[in-house]
Amino acid sequence: MATILIVEARFYDHLNDMLIAGARAAIESAGHTAEVVTVPGALEIPGAIALAAETGDYDAYVAIGVVIRGETYHFEIVANESARGIMALTMDGLPIGNGILTTEDEAQAIRRADPEQLNKGGGAAEAALAMLKLRQRWG
């Protein structure tokens, strides 16, 4: 049994609740346990994962958050840099599923977050578990 850390950037509560529900369901249905930690924003997710990895307490990670395009360039910075940070950690061998939604509007985010629709939280958890299996195989 593995322990999976869900790191969420809690900005849109109702969307995060759906993403976390999907992630938890996927993790628990695979026979593993999940813990959740909250960070201020999507840019802090890679740093929190890096800090948690130093403890050795977790086997894999799921990044959860929602970035909705606004009127400024900030959307691109947050979307690109959070993804870059997560990618750098995966290249260092950490099994991470990226469930940070980057959408044009809230309707797109709801469709992707809802476990009854696209279930991107569940998909991110499944990706983390798949990467954990590869790490165990080749680690």
Question: Which of 46, 52, 62, 47 has the alpha carbon at shortest distance from 122?
Answer: 62
pTM, two decimals, is 0.97
Question: Which of 116, 125, 130, 134 has the alpha carbon at shortest distance from 97?
Answer: 125
pLDDT at 139: 79
Binding site, annotated residues: 11, 42-44, 66-68, 71-72, 98, 112
Share of the chain above pLDDT 70, in %: 100
For the record, the structure tokens of 131 come out as 């990467």
Binding site, annotated residues for (2S)-2-hydroxy-3-oxobutyl phosphate: 71-72, 112
Just list the catalytic residues.
Answer: 74
For the record, the structure tokens of 59 come out as 């086997």
Dump pLDDT digits (tens) for 40-80.
Answer: 999 999 999 999 999 999 999 999 999 999 888 899 999 99
Collapsing DSSP to helix, strand or coil, 94 comes out as coil
Task: State the fold for domain 3-138.
Answer: Rossmann fold (3.40.50)
Binding site, annotated residues for 5-amino-6-(D-ribitylamino)uracil: 11, 42-44, 66-68, 98
CA atoms of 86 and 127, how far apart (whole Å): 13
Dump pLDDT digits (tens) for 86-139.
Answer: 999 999 999 999 999 999 999 999 999 999 999 999 999 999 999 999 999 997
CB 83 within 8 A of CB 91: no
List Cα–Cα distances, 107 to 45, 55, 114, 117, 128, in angstroms: 24, 38, 11, 12, 26
